[in-house]
Amino acid sequence: MTSQPKSIGDARPASRLFTSLQMQAREYRDRGMLLLIVTLLPVVFFAASFYSSPTGGRLAAIEVPELNGTAEVQIEPRETWSMGIGILGVAWGVSTIAFFSVMGNLQRDRRLILSGYRSWEILLARLGILIGASMPLAVAGMIPYTLVTNSNHPEVVWLANFTGGLIAAGFGLLVGTLLPRPTEGMLIVILVTGIGLALNGDAARFFFLYQPIQLLISGRLATDPSILPFVGGSLAMATAFLVPAMFLWWQRMRIAR
Amino acid sequence: MAKTLLQAQDIHKQYRRLQVLRGASLTIHPGEIVGLVGENGSGKSTFMNILVGLLRQDGGSVQVNCQYAYCPQEPQVFDGLTMKENLTYFSAAYGLSAEEGLARGEALLERLNCRKFENQSAGQLSGGTRQKLNLIISLLCEPDLLFLDEPYQGFDYESYLIFLDLVKEMAEAGRSALVISHMVHDHHKLSRVYKMQEGRAVHD
């Protein structure tokens, strides 16, 4: 068998990559409602949890990662409930966008590849969009912590939300390539993200957003926050989702010759 | 001996227990417009998907010796993008500059009487106009060989006649097409017709 020549004209890969980035971004132009929902989600999650938790009573102790070890900090009970909720909101939003960006475009992406696009060009552009979406969503996730409660280091809170979004992008892509059907895929996204609401104590360590949640706690309450270990852990977790997602996506996109 | 653009030999394909193709073979030379007909479920689209490379055959070989493009039966266009943006996106895929791709695309939009919709989102277009966009995308790169899977579904008669003209011009320019067709009455416009029968492509 001979190969299909991959390019008829002389447009450069960088130009193709830019076009893909541009077109994938433009596809969200008419999806204002989706973007509004995923932006409001972290704020609504936080508000629902914060204002429905009991007020007053005895202060609760929380372990706060500091640069040199951990410190125990006493906070209002309702603040412990709402601690990681903004990240869950950001993660839910980004994983939903990531899921639909893969699931909804499998056939069209394949046509692009058949027409000459390299699969990595489309995927790299998609990752660029998802990373770009995580940045403003992380701001939305940060707002409650800076307005309603006090954060010692708001920039670290933003970083925590952003790294949570990165992990969720990998998670959403993986679900989208494993289960390219909207109902089943969305149920998995809701189920797995929802599990995070119920986890406490040592069990929470096994949740995929544990690292960014610890980073958020450190940014909110630590005097000298511990950043690098949790950013590193978050990037490792994002990679653990992204590598199989990319492999599975490449398998689905592959042209037989 | 004339150059062969496509040679498929003894293609077999099975979906679980259902044997769809049982040794289908087909050859296309430059300037030929070849039809592929058959009943629903006879394996036409499966055969074309294998020829294009979207499906892997269980047995047999496919040799494509030229640049080709594919127009799927269901329009595979980006609904959130306008017609022009779709043309730009696929131009980039073909390696064409945006200017060159748009110039070719706009000429085809004009030809198929749908240039007035060029700034509308593909998702807002009528079925027939989406199908025209689907066809135009595959014609953008001016391929040596074009695979068309029922490309005129939803076309009005006038558009269908324009489509036939486009195909005729392709053949006159020495380019070729394989068309899955139900238009039995227009078979005289084709160089050859294969009929899918019991998993084989039989010369009609």
**Could you give the ipTM of this predicted complex?**
0.93
Give the whole-angstrom CA distance, residue B163 versus residue B155.
Answer: 9
- Has residue A3 been placed in a domain? no
- Which position has the token pair 């509308």? B120
Q: If pLDDT is split at 50, 70 and 90, which confidence band does B25 have?
A: very high
Q: Which of the two residues, B183 and A162, has the higher pLDDT score?
A: A162
Cross-chain residue pair A15–B81, CB shorter than 8 Å: no
Percent of chain A predicted with pLDDT > 90: 39
Write the residue in A5, A31, A256 that is nearest to B53 by C-beta: A256
Beta carbons of A116 and A104 less than 8 angstroms apart: no
- Has residue A22 been placed in a domain? no
**Residue B128 confidence (pLDDT):** 94
Q: Can you read off the two tokens belonging to residue B146?
A: 């074009």
Helix-helix angle A85-103:A210-221, to 10 degrees? 140
Find chain A residues with C-beta within 8 A of B95's C-beta.
6-11, 16, 116
- Has residue A1 been placed in a domain? no
Q: Which of the two residues, A82 and B1, has the higher pLDDT score?
A: A82
Q: Can you read off the two tokens belonging to residue B49?
A: 């998907």
Burial (Cβ within 10 Å: 0-12, 13-18, ≥19) of residue B7: middle
Q: What is the pLDDT of residues B80-101, one digit of tens each?
A: 999 999 999 999 999 998 899 9
**Residue A227 confidence (pLDDT):** 95
* Sheet bearing B176-180, strands edge to edge: B68-71, B145-149, B176-180, B33-37, B192-197, B200-203
Cross-chain residue pair B50–A256, CB shorter than 8 Å: yes
What is residue A71's three-state secondary structure? Answer: strand
- Has residue A2 been placed in a domain? no
What is residue B121's three-state secondary structure? Answer: strand
**Residue B200 confidence (pLDDT):** 92
**Residue B179 confidence (pLDDT):** 93
Find chain A residues with C-beta within 8 A of B50's C-beta.
256
The residues in A 25-64 lying below 8 A from B, measured between CB atoms, are: 26-31
- Has residue A226 been placed in a domain? yes
Find chain A residues with C-beta within 8 A of B78's C-beta.
23, 27, 105, 108
Q: Which of the two residues, A5 and B57, has the higher pLDDT score?
A: B57
Characterise B53 by phi-psi region: left (phi > 0), alpha (psi -120 to 50), beta (else): left
**A14 vs chain B: nearest CA distance in angstroms?**
10
Cα pseudo-dihedral B127, B129, B131, B136, rounded to 10: -170
Q: Can you read off the two tokens belonging to residue A219?
A: 């940014």
* Cα angle for residues A182, A188, A191 (degrees, 5° grid): 135
A215 pLDDT more than 80: yes
- Has residue A59 been placed in a domain? yes
Candidates B76, B120, B148, partner chain A, best to mutate (most A CBs within 10 A): B76
- Has residue A165 been placed in a domain? yes
Q: If pLDDT is split at 50, 70 and 90, which confidence band does A257 have?
A: low
CA-nearest residue to B64 within chain A is A2
Number of H helices and number of E strands within chain B? 5, 9
Q: What is the pLDDT of residues A90-99, one digit of tens each?
A: 888 889 888 8
Find chain B residues with C-beta within 8 A of A105's C-beta.
78
Q: How many structural domains is chain A composed of?
A: 1
A10 pLDDT more than 70: no
Give mean pLDDT, residues A67-90: 81
Cross-chain residue pair B92–A30, CB shorter than 8 Å: no
**Residue A231 confidence (pLDDT):** 97
pLDDT-wise least confident of A176-190, A213-227, B55-69, B132-146: A176-190
**A116 vs chain B: nearest CA distance in angstroms?**
5
**A68 vs chain B: nearest CA distance in angstroms?**
50
**Residue A103 confidence (pLDDT):** 84
Write the residue in A4, A19, A105 that is nearest to B64 by C-beta: A4
Cross-chain residue pair A23–B85, CB shorter than 8 Å: yes
Q: Can you read off the two tokens belonging to residue A144?
A: 């409650």
A168 pLDDT more than 90: yes
A1 pLDDT more than 50: no
**A23 vs chain B: nearest CA distance in angstroms?**
7
Query: What's chain B's average pLDDT?
Result: 92
Q: If pLDDT is split at 50, 70 and 90, which confidence band does B172 have?
A: very high
**B157 vs chain A: nearest CA distance in angstroms?**
27
**Cβ pairs A/B, distance under 8 A:** 104
- Has residue A30 been placed in a domain? no
CA-nearest residue to A28 within chain B is B80
Beta carbons of B7 and B1 less than 8 angstroms apart: no
Q: Which of the two residues, A44 and A125, has the higher pLDDT score?
A: A125
Cross-chain residue pair B76–A15, CB shorter than 8 Å: no
**B185 vs chain A: nearest CA distance in angstroms?**
31
Q: How far is CA B197 from CA B6, B13, B36, B151, B186, in A?
A: 20, 14, 11, 22, 20
Whole domain around residue A107: which residue ranges? 35-253
B46 pLDDT more than 70: yes
